[in-house]
Chains A and B, each alone.
Chain A
């Protein structure tokens, strides 16, 4: 019962380098999200997807791109990393819960990214 799996767990980049964070879920959820967590800021939504082939911007999308080519995977890309992107990144997936429409999320364990 893996739930939501993120890779890698840790990464150190130099300014200007690119990288991709991978998120995989095995719960057949339609919705997937990428959040970043910074001290004192809580969780801020970067991008999200409401289904395979769809993506949308969240609260802090600049400097990031995403793709959802397969339902179970949601990729977060940094084309040219900046020190301001040093953070812990969390992927989450969710599905509508019954008639209430509530979207209860399951989170991955996080990916800690440091940009020097």
Chain B
């Protein structure tokens, strides 16, 4: 089946630093999604990308849908303590009647005091 490689697996940064993470796929996706999971909670959608090359922002978060449709990037600027959590990328191949997401393994973000 499809696999998503997400990197890095974990990040340890200081408050105020910028963060970059990416996701690569062995096959093409038509939609890329980025979710964040806080401790003890379910993932919550951050950004959805629908077209190759698309660049979308949500506050301090910016995500891009790669031109090849096999990768996506998420950047967080000026990190703050509430950014701590696990970030998941997810890809979808549009296939009506069989809509499934494939999730990456996650990037765990920790902010060092």
Contacts and interface: CB of A to CB of B under 8 A. Distances in A.
A109 B41 contact: yes
A96 B99 contact: yes
A96 to B, nearest CB: 7
B99 A42 contact: no
Given A42-B88, A102-B48, 18 more contacts: A31-B99, A40-B105, A42-B103, A43-B88, A45-B101, A50-B99, A58-B100, A59-B1, A92-B42, A94-B99, A97-B48, A100-B50, A101-B30, A103-B100, A104-B45, A104-B48, A105-B101, A109-B40
Contact of B105 (A33, A41, A45, A97): A41
Contacts, number: 73
B113 interface: no
B39 to A, nearest CB: 11
Contact of B98 (A33, A40, A50, A100): A50
Contact of B100 (A45, A97, A101, A104): A45
Interface of B: 1, 6, 9, 30-31, 33, 35, 40-45, 48, 50, 88, 92, 94, 96-101, 103-106
B100 A48 contact: yes
Interface residues of A, number: 31
Given A94-B99, A100-B31, A101-B96, A107 B44 contact: yes
B105 A42 contact: yes
Cβ-closest 8 pairs across A and B: A107-B42, A42-B105, A103-B99, A43-B103, A102-B31, A101-B94, A100-B50, A42-B103
